[in-house]
């Protein structure tokens, strides 16, 4: 009988059984993982050793240890099986539902992202999106998020900038007309209610959120007729749409409301914000097809 070729592979079932036993260093635990009996596992390992003509385990009293040949084979089997697992997952994933977890601010979520999400979900029906909208910075890796869209200072080092923003007063088109109070120039804001986020430092006088804009237009001493504060930016914008006052619009977050006519800019007096929206992707999730698809869609929408 001719000798066996040196590179002929043993049955893959035996190699898989060996990898499990070498990982656990226990035939009993390996058998449980592979849903076979302990004696069947022992027979498979013995058959592999006979096939290779070497001893793979040192059988000690109530313990196993890998021989040098066993260590060498275990390293190769682990690498090969892991490569196969990754390939199988990649093949299966497009045909199964994928979960995508995103965290961002409430204002960005409600005013910019959610009105556009239909385009993404229609184009990618196999992807389920979990959206977290909050003011805190989530830890992507430890809290299970794939991506974050954060509102951070211009020039931030982390992530990719999606867009900067322009700040401009916005209100309902009916506001000045119903009150009989003109809104032709910035100083006219003194006759109106200013809508703003509740922030530290604005307990009296000028709302802190409005301060950069008012300072830019030389209105450092402006005192509005009234102030109405909210815990979220989306609430302030909703109040502006309802005609309850003038809000400081962040473009492009309010662009859709301006385009629909629900809001107007009473005067062309925008300033550039010192902050921008940035996309951060968890490095461990970047290679996932669902993450790649969402990132590509988001960048196209921001373009």
**How does pLDDT run across 109-126, given as a tens digit for each residue?**
999 999 999 999 999 888
Residue 142, both tokens: 């430890």
Could you give the domains of the chain?
12-94 (1.10.10.10), 98-163+277-302 (3.40.190.10), 165-272 (3.40.190.10)
Residue 29 CB neighbours (<10 A): 15
Distances (CA, A) of 274 to 183, 215, 233, 243, 270: 26, 14, 17, 28, 13
d(C-alpha 187, C-alpha 21), whole Å: 79
Residue 1 has pLDDT above 50, yes or no: no
Average pLDDT over residues 137-164: 85
Q: What is the pTM of this model?
A: 0.63
Residue 287, both tokens: 């290679």
Average pLDDT over residues 273-291: 90
Could you please report the per-residue DSSP string of the chain? -PPPPTTPPPPHHHHHHHHHHHHHT-HHHHHHHTTS-HHHHHHHHHHHHHHHTS--EEEETTEEEE-HHHHHHHHHHHHHHHHHHHHHHHHHGGGS-EEEEEEE-HHIIIIIIGGGHHHHHHH-TTEEEEEEE-SS---HHHHT-SEEEEEEETT-SSSEEEEEEEEEEEB-TTHHHHHT---SSGGGGGGSEEEEE--TT-SSSS-TTTHHHHHHTT-TT---SEEEEESSHHHHHHHHHTTS-EEEEEETTTHHHHHHTSSB-SS---EEEEEEEEEEE-TTTTTSHHHHHHHHHHHHHH-
Residue-level pLDDT at 142: 78
d(C-alpha 281, C-alpha 279), whole Å: 7
Query: Partners of 129 in the beta sheet?
Result: 100
Residue-level pLDDT at 253: 93
| Closest to 249 (Cα-Cα) out of 172, 302, 179 | 172
Omega cis (within 30) before 252: yes
**How does pLDDT run across 53-89, given as a tens digit for each residue?**
999 999 888 889 999 999 999 999 988 888 887 777 7
Residue-level pLDDT at 139: 85
Q: Are 191 and 181 in contact (CB under 8 A)?
A: yes
Average pLDDT over residues 278-293: 91
**How does pLDDT run across 227-272, given as a tens digit for each residue?**
999 988 999 999 999 999 999 999 999 999 999 999 999 988 889 9
Average pLDDT over residues 134-159: 84
Distances (CA, A) of 35 to 20, 38, 82, 221, 225: 12, 9, 20, 78, 76
Average pLDDT over residues 37-43: 93
**How does pLDDT run across 151-173, given as a tens digit for each residue?**
888 776 688 899 889 999 999 99
Residue 201 has pLDDT above 70, yes or no: no
Residue-level pLDDT at 37: 93
């Amino acid at each position: 009988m001719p000798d066996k070729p040196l590179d002929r592979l043993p049955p893959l079932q035996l190699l898989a059984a060996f990898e499990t036993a070498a990982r656990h260093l226990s035939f009993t635990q390996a058998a449980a993982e592979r849903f076979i009996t302990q004696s069947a596992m022992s027979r498979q390992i013995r058959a592999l050793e006979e096939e290779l003509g070497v001893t793979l385990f040192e059988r000690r009293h109530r313990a196993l240890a890998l021989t040098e040949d066993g260590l060498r084979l275990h390293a190769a089997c682990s690498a090969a099986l892991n490569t196969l697992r990754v390939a199988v997952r990649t093949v299966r994933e497009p045909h199964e539902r994928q979960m995508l977890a995103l965290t961002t601010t409430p204002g960005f979520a409600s005013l910019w992202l959610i009105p556009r999400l239909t385009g993404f979900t229609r184009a990618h029906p196999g992807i389920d999106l979990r959206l977290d909208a909050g003011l805190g910075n989530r830890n992507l890796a430890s809290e299970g998020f794939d991506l974050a869209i954060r509102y951070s200072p211009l020039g931030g080092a982390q992530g990719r900038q999606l867009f900067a923003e322009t700040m401009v007063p916005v209100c309902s088109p009916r506001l000045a007309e119903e009150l009989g109070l003109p809104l032709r120039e910035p100083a006219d804001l003194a006759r109106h209610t200013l809508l703003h986020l509740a922030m530290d430092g604005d307990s009296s006088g000028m709302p802190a959120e409005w301060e950069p804009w008012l300072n830019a237009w030389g209105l450092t001493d402006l005192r509005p007729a009234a102030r109405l504060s909210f815990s979220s930016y989306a609430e302030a914008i909703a109040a502006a749409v309802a005609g309850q006052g003038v809000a400081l619009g962040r473009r492009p977050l309010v662009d859709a409301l301006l385009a629909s006519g629900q809001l107007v800019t009473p005067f062309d007096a925008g300033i550039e914000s010192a902050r921008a929206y940035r996309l951060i992707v968890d490095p461990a999730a970047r290679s996932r097809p669902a993450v790649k698809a969402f990132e590509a869609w988001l960048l196209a929408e921001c373009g």
